[in-house]
Structure 1
């Protein structure tokens, strides 16, 4: 993945930008595990997975009991995470509350 852009939103009056896109490295960091790191350690379960675009941490989504992806973003200031679900190509900025899509190639 080369980069991300803020998804268009027909409800916005003016164009909005994400102030954290420059935090994501050019090369996406590898994921250390194939599941939520905290849930795996505690024997918990998750609904969906999110991968931090800054460090590669894998955490569970806000619909999961642990909400570990949000907790990771909150404690590390790593604002950007992508869906870690097969077939999904989108990301989220936790600090700006913005939906992101891959840059067109």
Structure 2
């Protein structure tokens, strides 16, 4: 894993054209990850190439503990703000990477 001080993460306020519910959910995920010092946070719009989802949120964590904390923060904040839980979660036991749908 890379040095945590290598590159700071930044959140960007969305344009007004992205102010839909899906983007709001993606932004909540990104903010939850940022709260746990996630790095390299990227929100990718994939709606033109995927019928399953509109956005991917990709986050870097620097340790297993941090990756799990980011995942837990995302679950909590999305449940509080959107009353939703992940449909599926993979990789949580290992903590090297986690995928949440």
Question: Please, what TM-score do these two structures have when normalized by structure 1?
Answer: 0.28
**Structure that is richer in strand per residue:** 1
Identify the structure with bigger relative contact order (alpha carbons < 8 Å, sequence gap 6+). Answer: 1
Question: Please, what TM-score do these two structures have when normalized by structure 2?
Answer: 0.29
**Structure that is richer in helix per residue:** 2
